[in-house]
Amino acid sequence: GQNIDQPTEMTATEGAIVQINCTYQTSGFNGLFWYQQHAGEAPTFLSYNVLDGLEEKGRFSSFLSRSKGYSYLLLKELQMKDSASYLCAVRGTSYGQNFVFGPGTRLSVLP
Amino acid sequence: DVKVTQSSRYLVKRTGEKVFLECVQDMDHENMFWYRQDPGLGLRLIYFSYDVKMKEKGDIPEGYSVSREKKERFSLILESASTNQTSMYLCASRGTGDTEAFFGQGTRLTVV
């Protein structure tokens, strides 16, 4: 079966650092993705990991451990505009390489 | 910039109606996907297509069908809409050599 788990909600303060965890169990693995989705809008791509380790992109970093089925998204110097849902997704290996998404983590950044 | 366009942002339909949701992408992507998004459940795959006239069932295909007659267009069809199909529907596309998928802005469908 396929299962992706992440916390439902998190709250953090402007300027702080927050880590959003994601654990997964999937039948095929061809990369782990993080998307950001503001309320009422389309998900937009944030990061991609296919090998173990840390990928850094500005204020956002993403980590992957394939042996543990674990990833996290790290957001630094939080801004109010970072209030959004963060979606963890695993890309499969079958035709189309479709994505399996977790339930999403709603992050609220408070002043 | 890749553009994935869904024909409607909001739709209200009656139970039993046949509903068409249209999605068009402008980047010549081979792969297209239809998801529905519900609170607490995340995005769930309904159907996907990896080529013209090709389609594969996703995790929740019951009550839906799809059509891909042209590469740029992928349609989701609700044969007889029911209230449990009230949801946000998201279309996505991805090129075979690309990393990420690109999403449309979503269609919020309400079935009354």
pLDDT per residue rounded down to tens, chain B (112 residues):
668 999 999 999 999 999 999 999 999 999 999 999 998 888 999 999 999 999 999 989 999 999 999 999 999 999 999 999 999 999 999 988 777 889 999 999 999 9
Classify strands A105-110 and A84-91 as parallel, antiparallel or unpaired: antiparallel
Rounded to whole angstroms, the Cα distance separating A9 from A47 reads: 20
CA distance A12 to A17: 8
pLDDT at A94 over 80: no
Residue A8, Ramachandran bin (φ over 0: left; ψ between -120 and 50: alpha; else beta): alpha
pLDDT bucket at A27, cuts 50 / 70 / 90: confident
Helix and strand numbers, DSSP H then E, in chain B: 0, 11
Question: What 3-state class would DSSP assign to A76?
Answer: coil
Q: If you compute the radius of gyration of chain A from its CA atoms, what whole number of angstroms results? A: 14
A4, A98, A102 member nearest B33 (Cβ): A98
Instruction: Give the N- to C-terminal CA distance of chain B in Å, as an integer.
Output: 37
Of the given ranges (A21-25, A28-32, A58-62, B86-90), which has the lowest mean pLDDT?
A: A28-32
Interface check B102 vs A, CB under 8 A:
yes
Q: Is A95 helix (H, G, I), strand (E, B) or coil?
A: helix
Q: A residues 41-60 near B, CB within 8 Å?
A: 41-45, 48
B42 contacts chain A (CB < 8 A): yes
Residue B23 and residue B90: Cα distance in Å, rounded? Answer: 9
At A38-87, the pLDDT tens digits run 998 899 999 999 999 999 999 999 999 999 999 999 999 999 999 999 99
Q: How many residues does chain A have?
A: 111
Q: Is the pLDDT of residue A96 over 70?
A: no
- pLDDT of A108 higher than 70: yes
With an 8 Å Cβ cutoff, is B58 touching chain A?
yes
Distance CA B6, CA B22 (A): 6
Q: Whole-angstrom Cα distance, residue A28 to residue A31?
A: 9
Task: Please check whether residue A24 is in contact with residue A4, taking contact to mean a CB–CB distance below 8 angstroms.
Answer: yes
Q: Is the pLDDT of residue A97 over 80?
A: no
Interface test with chain B among A86, A95, A98, A105, by most B beta carbons within 10 Å = A98
